[in-house]
C-alpha cells in the first residue's frame, strides 16, 4: 500500500472542509506516526493480501511481530468477506466487475493537489441493472466511530473514481461503505452520481481557501487529529469558553469585577470565581453538559501530550515539572542462554503448554468443518458496557446495576 499523503487529502478532508486554515497551520509540526497508525497500516496490508488471494493474484502475506494478532486477523477476515460478497453479488447481477485494490484516485479537479488511496473501488451493476461504483473503506480502529452517511473521505474517493472511470463505464449510482469491525459497524450510504458531483462542485471554494491557508478557524470534533491543535488559539478559547459558560455565572462575575476597587481585604483573592449553582450538580445537568466536557477533556489531553513531548523529546524546561523514568518490568536479555543455563542446572519445567486460539483452530480445519466439530463449544461473551452517542449502530442494552437510580 503506498505510503503517501496529499496536502488536501481525503482522509483529512473533514478537518480542512470545516477549518480551511488548519492544513497550513499544521505544516510547522512533524507528521509523527503512532502505534495505532502502524497497526492500521498493517491491517490494511493484511486485508489487501486476503482480497488479492481471492482474486488469484500472486502475493506474499505481510508479517509483523507486533501487529499480526488474532484480533487483526479476525478484523481483516470480516473486511475481506464483505468485499468478496460485494464482488460475487455483482457477478450474479450479470457482469464481470472492475475490481481495484488500494487504488490511487485523483480528485485534484475538486481540491488542489488532491489525491488519495481507496481501499476498494469496484465498478459493475446493481440489482436493478444500473451502473454502480462501490467504494469500501476499512477502519481498523475503535477510538472513533465512523459513519458512511455523506462521508467526505469516501465521497472524495468516489469523485476521483468517477474522474478516472466515469467516461468509460455508465456509472449511475455510487455506494460508499465503512467496515469498522471493532465497533460492529458496517454502514453503507448510497447516492446518485449527479448528487455526488454537485457536492464536489460546492466544496471547490472551500478547498481553494484550504490550499491557500485562508478562511476562518473553526474548532470542532474534526480537530481530533490536527497536529496544530495543542497550540491552536481557537481551540483554547473554545475550551475555556465552554468551561466558563457551563459552570460560571458570568453576570455575577462581571458585577464582582466592577466592585473590586472597593475590596480592601488584604491576603484574600479579590475576585473569586462565581459559580452558577454552588453545591452538587444534579445528573440531569451533567448529562446536558456531557458533549462540552468531552470537547474540553480532548483539548486538555492534547495540550498535556504536546507539552510532555516538548519536555521529553526536546528538553524544553517546564517550570514546576520534571522528566522521570517510568516503572518497567524485568526482562531476559538472552532467552536461549537462560534456557541452557537453567537446564544445565537441573531445572527442566521451563515451558507452559497452551491451547491454540479459536481462530487458529478455524484456519486449521476450515470454517465449515470447524462449525461441524466445534461450533457447539463456541460462545461470544458480552462486551464491557460503555456509553456511546446515539449515532453508534450497536443496539442499546439495559445495564444491570447494584444501585437504584433515583430521579430528581
Name the residue ranges covered by the structural domains of the chain. Answer: 13-216, 229-314, 335-377
CA proximity to 80, closest of 101, 58, 50: 50
- Report the Cα–Cα distance between both ends of the chain, in Å, rounded: 55
Look at residue 197 in the predicted model and tell me its pLDDT: 97
Q: What does residue 120 show for φ and ψ, rounded to 5 degrees?
A: -140, 135
pLDDT along the chain (408 residues), means of 10: 71 95 90 84 96 94 91 94 95 92 96 95 94 96 88 97 94 96 92 97 96 92 88 86 69 53 48 61 77 80 84 84 76 86 86 81 85 86 74 72 45
User: Per the structure block, which three cell numbers stand in for 111?
Assistant: 481540491
Look at residue 247 in the predicted model and tell me its pLDDT: 67
> CA-to-CA distance for 150 and 394, rounded, in angstroms?
20
Look at residue 305 in the predicted model and tell me its pLDDT: 83
Look at residue 284 in the predicted model and tell me its pLDDT: 81
> CA-to-CA distance for 42 and 138, rounded, in angstroms?
12
CATH number for the domain running over 13-216: 3.90.320
Look at residue 251 in the predicted model and tell me its pLDDT: 58
Please name the residues in contact with 360: beta carbons below 8 A apart, sequence gap of 6 or more. 70
Cα 93 to chain center, whole Å? Answer: 34
Look at residue 199 in the predicted model and tell me its pLDDT: 97
- The pairing of beta strand 173-180 with beta strand 185-192: antiparallel
What is the pTM (predicted TM-score) of this model?
0.73
Amino acid at each position: 500500500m503506498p505510503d503517501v499523503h496529499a496536502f488536501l487529502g481525503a482522509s483529512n478532508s473533514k478537518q480542512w472542509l470545516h477549518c480551511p486554515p488548519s492544513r497550513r497551520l499544521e505544516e510547522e509540526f512533524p507528521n509523527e506516526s503512532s502505534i495505532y497508525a502502524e497497526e492500521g497500516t498493517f491491517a490494511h496490508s493484511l486485508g489487501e493480501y486476503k482480497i488479492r488471494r481471492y482474486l488469484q493474484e500472486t502475493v506474499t502475506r505481510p508479517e509483523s511481530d507486533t501487529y499480526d494478532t488474532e484480533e487483526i486477523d479476525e478484523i481483516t477476515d470480516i473486511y475481506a468477506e464483505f468485499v468478496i460478497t460485494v464482488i460475487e453479488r455483482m457477478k450474479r447481477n450479470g457482469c464481470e466487475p472492475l475490481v481495484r485494490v488500494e487504488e490511487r484516485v485523483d480528485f485534484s479537479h475538486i481540491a488542489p493537489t488532491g489525491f488519495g488511496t481507496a481501499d476498494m473501488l469496484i465498478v459493475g451493476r446493481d440489482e436493478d441493472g444500473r451502473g454502480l461504483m462501490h467504494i469500501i473503506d476499512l477502519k481498523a480502529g475503535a477510538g472513533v466511530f465512523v459513519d458512511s452517511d455523506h462521508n467526505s473521505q469516501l465521497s472524495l474517493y468516489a469523485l476521483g473514481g468517477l474522474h478516472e472511470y466515469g467516461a468509460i463505464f455508465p456509472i449511475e449510482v455510487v455506494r460508499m461503505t465503512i467496515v469498522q469491525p471493532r465497533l460492529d459497524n458496517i454502514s453503507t450510504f448510497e447516492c446518485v452520481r449527479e448528487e455526488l458531483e454537485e457536492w464536489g462542485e460546492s466544496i471547490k471554494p472551500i478547498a481553494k481557501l484550504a490550499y491557500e491557508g485562508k478562511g476562518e478557524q473553526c474548532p470542532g470534533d474534526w480537530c481530533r487529529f490536527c497536529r496544530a491543535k495543542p497550540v491552536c488559539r481557537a481551540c483554547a478559547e473554545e475550551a475555556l469558553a465552554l468551561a466558563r459558560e457551563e459552570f460560571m455565572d458570568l453576570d455575577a462575575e462581571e458585577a464582582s469585577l466592577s466592585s473590586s476597587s472597593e475590596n480592601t481585604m488584604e491576603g484574600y483573592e479579590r475576585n473569586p470565581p462565581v459559580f452558577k449553582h454552588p453545591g452538587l450538580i444534579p445528573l440531569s445537568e451533567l448529562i446536558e453538559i456531557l458533549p462540552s466536557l468531552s470537547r474540553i477533556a480532548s483539548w486538555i489531553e492534547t495540550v498535556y501530550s504536546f507539552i510532555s513531548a516538548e519536555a521529553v523529546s526536546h528538553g524544553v524546561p517546564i517550570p514546576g515539572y520534571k522528566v522521570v523514568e517510568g516503572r518497567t518490568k524485568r526482562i531476559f536479555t538472552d532467552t536461549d542462554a537462560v534456557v541452557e543455563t537453567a537446564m544445565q542446572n537441573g531445572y527442566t519445567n521451563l515451558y507452559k503448554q497452551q491451547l491454540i486460539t479459536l481462530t487458529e483452530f478455524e484456519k486449521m480445519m476450515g470454517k465449515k468443518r470447524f462449525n461441524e466439530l466445534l461450533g457447539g463449544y463456541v460462545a461470544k461473551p458480552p462486551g464491557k458496557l460503555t456509553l456511546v452517542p446515539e449515532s453508534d449502530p450497536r443496539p442499546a442494552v439495559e445495564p444491570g446495576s447494584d444501585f437504584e437510580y433515583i430521579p430528581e
